[in-house]
Amino acid sequence: MTTKKLLALREQISAKRPEFVMQDQHKRPDLQRRWRKPKGMHSKMRHGVWGRPVSVKTGYRGPAEVRGLHKSGLISVLVNNMTELSAIDPKIQGVVLGNVGGKKKTELLTACKQKNIIVFNVRNVDEEIKNLTGKFSARKEAKKLKSQRKQISKAAPKKEAKKEETVTKEQERKEMEKVLTQKEA
């Protein structure tokens, strides 16, 4: 069979596959909805009694040729830097970007766009590049404004302003004393 047919078959099998849960999961809320093999001696689930939750068996698996492939039919490869990206074959493999910063992510996305490599965990590569560059330029502008404000605040002498305020208060006090002495006389 071709890969497309096998992927469609895998999709059908996955749709029919039941949810495998732990034994007595419905009785105990502290148990998670996950699979653990039933190991009890008298376990009805282990014996496969009708009406009990199903156990994991090989018959529920998908086709071996497409097992582990992305739904597009490509092998997903985790990429964190440019050297890992250079080893990618775009016909067979697709990229999943790792947890990297903004600058490196933009570099990786532009390289993927140039080489026509599909990125699985980014919906629109062009939009993502645009967003990242916009965020980067906005941070740069904010940093410039902050440094300009610092320079302006350093240029303005603060001590002189305080002295002027104290001088004006002293002058006001002297004027008040003059007014008081005039009233007394």
Which tokens go with 106? Answer: 């933009």
Full-model pTM: 0.66
Mean pLDDT of 139-143: 92
- Strand-pair partners of 78: 96
d(CA 67, CA 136): 40
Number of compact structural domains in the chain: 2
In a domain, 62, yes or no: yes
In a domain, 164, yes or no: no
In a domain, 15, yes or no: yes
> What percentage of the chain has pLDDT greater than the value 90?
72
**Residue 59 gets which letter from DSSP?**
G
In a domain, 184, yes or no: no
Residues 62 and 79 placed together within one structural domain of the fold: no
CA-based radius of gyration for the chain: 36
In the predicted structure, residue 161 carries a pLDDT above the cut 60: no
- Strand-pair partners of 95: 77, 119
Residues 82 and 58 placed together within one structural domain of the fold: no
Structural domain boundaries enclosing 61: 3-66
Which residue among 14, 49, 66 closes a domain? 66
